[in-house]
Homo-oligomer: A and B are copies of this chain.
């Protein structure tokens, strides 16, 4: 939240009280935000209501509660059918903004387009999660320090963007960066979806080895760290990879090429020092003090505000809030 700015009262609708939706709902209520929620099964309702979350028994009732913004926290595979059900309801309440928390953004925007909801839509993806799932694992602290990616395109409505940005910064107390869908989905493939495949490939190499028990006995910290993500929820990982398939395919081919290149160098007795030296900018980035950033104001023009925010993210800046004029408070972070 920008210092000196008063919080605007906001009512937030949550669709889906699983790990992410439940954690966000509980966090928002804790921060004094009014929250109304619908879940496809009512089993979390008793606990949720005790926490101060108003639970309703249909999407129609959720819309009738007239929240400022509805956050779709349902699984990606149910997105199309929920969007279809929401469309006629939102047609009568056009002030409501729609956002989501899905880990792939291009596909969700397409579904909103198909359902005729794209005018009220702003994409979002909080970098929060763990290996658990469901309401029982929901925890307001899951969002502590979480960065959100907010995804926009040229047609995104400025006021609706501001609503989602204030939800994130003022109501949830988090920071954000603004991206287009393609940049988001490519970056998510690079730092998460593709590495999950690599981790599983390492495990499969071990499993297929005749001396797998010996190799496993010798395994220490490097192996444990690199295979941890291969241990948890293969169905979820598989779905994540499928949803971002084109980017993951490209990144897998690029990594495979890098590994083949090192293999060639080792075969030819060449010096592999440059391969290891090439990682130096990331080592310096990790060693930099992330607390050393300065906060400043980034003016957002009426036209082209999307690109101004995208350029800011490319420079390694994050948005910590919006001021009364809708300009962004940004924090300069270490960059490569």
Interface residues of A (CB under 8 A from B): 127, 129-130, 147, 149, 177, 179, 183-184, 186-188, 190-192, 195-209, 211-223, 225-231, 234-235, 237-238, 241-242, 245-246, 248-260, 262-263, 266-267, 269, 272-273, 275-283, 285-286, 313-316, 318, 333, 335-336
> Which B residue's beta carbon lies closest to that of A246?
B266
User: How many copies altogether?
Assistant: 2
Question: In the complex, which of the residues B219, B228, B313 contacts A225, with contact meaning CB atoms closer than 8 Å?
Answer: B228
How far is it, in angstroms, between the C-alpha of A222 and the C-alpha of B258 when the chains are bound?
Answer: 20
For A226, the chain B residues whose CB sits under 8 A away are 195, 198-199, 225-226, 229
Contacts A/B (CB < 8 Å), 19 sampled: A127-B220, A149-B218, A190-B205, A191-B206, A191-B216, A192-B222, A201-B259, A204-B258, A205-B255, A207-B282, A213-B314, A216-B282, A216-B316, A216-B336, A234-B273, A241-B266, A245-B266, A252-B262, A253-B263
- Given known pairs A262-B252, A266-B245, the reply for A314 and B211 (CB within 8 Å) is yes
> Which B residue's beta carbon lies closest to that of A273?
B238
Question: In the complex, which of the residues B219, B225, B272 contacts A229, with contact meaning CB atoms closer than 8 Å?
Answer: B225
For A235, the chain B residues whose CB sits under 8 A away are 276
Question: In the complex, which of the residues B127, B222, B282 contacts A218, with contact meaning CB atoms closer than 8 Å?
Answer: B127
Is A282 a contact of B211 with CB atoms below 8 Å?
Answer: no
Is B259 a contact of A213 with CB atoms below 8 Å?
Answer: no
How far is it, in angstroms, between the C-alpha of A285 and the C-alpha of B212 when the chains are bound?
Answer: 11
Is B213 a contact of A316 with CB atoms below 8 Å?
Answer: yes
How far is it, in angstroms, between the C-alpha of A87 and the C-alpha of B207 when the chains are bound?
Answer: 42
Is B179 a contact of A214 with CB atoms below 8 Å?
Answer: yes
- Given known pairs A127-B218, A282-B230, the reply for A202 and B195 (CB within 8 Å) is yes
How far is it, in angstroms, between the C-alpha of A188 and the C-alpha of B74 when the chains are bound?
Answer: 43
How far is it, in angstroms, between the C-alpha of A127 and the C-alpha of B224 when the chains are bound?
Answer: 13
Is A279 a contact of B234 with CB atoms below 8 Å?
Answer: yes
- Given known pairs A255-B259, A259-B252, A259-B256, the reply for A314 and B214 (CB within 8 Å) is yes
User: Given contacts A130-B221, A201-B262, could you give 10 more A-B pairs where the C-beta distance is less than 8 Å?
Assistant: A147-B217, A187-B214, A192-B222, A199-B226, A204-B278, A207-B278, A222-B228, A225-B226, A230-B282, A231-B282
Question: In the complex, which of the residues B202, B263, B277 contacts A256, with contact meaning CB atoms closer than 8 Å?
Answer: B263
How far is it, in angstroms, between the C-alpha of A226 and the C-alpha of B203 when the chains are bound?
Answer: 13
Is B335 a contact of A213 with CB atoms below 8 Å?
Answer: yes
- Given known pairs A197-B262, A201-B258, A272-B241, the reply for A209 and B229 (CB within 8 Å) is no
For A207, the chain B residues whose CB sits under 8 A away are 278-279, 281-282, 336
Is A227 a contact of B282 with CB atoms below 8 Å?
Answer: yes
Is B217 a contact of A313 with CB atoms below 8 Å?
Answer: yes
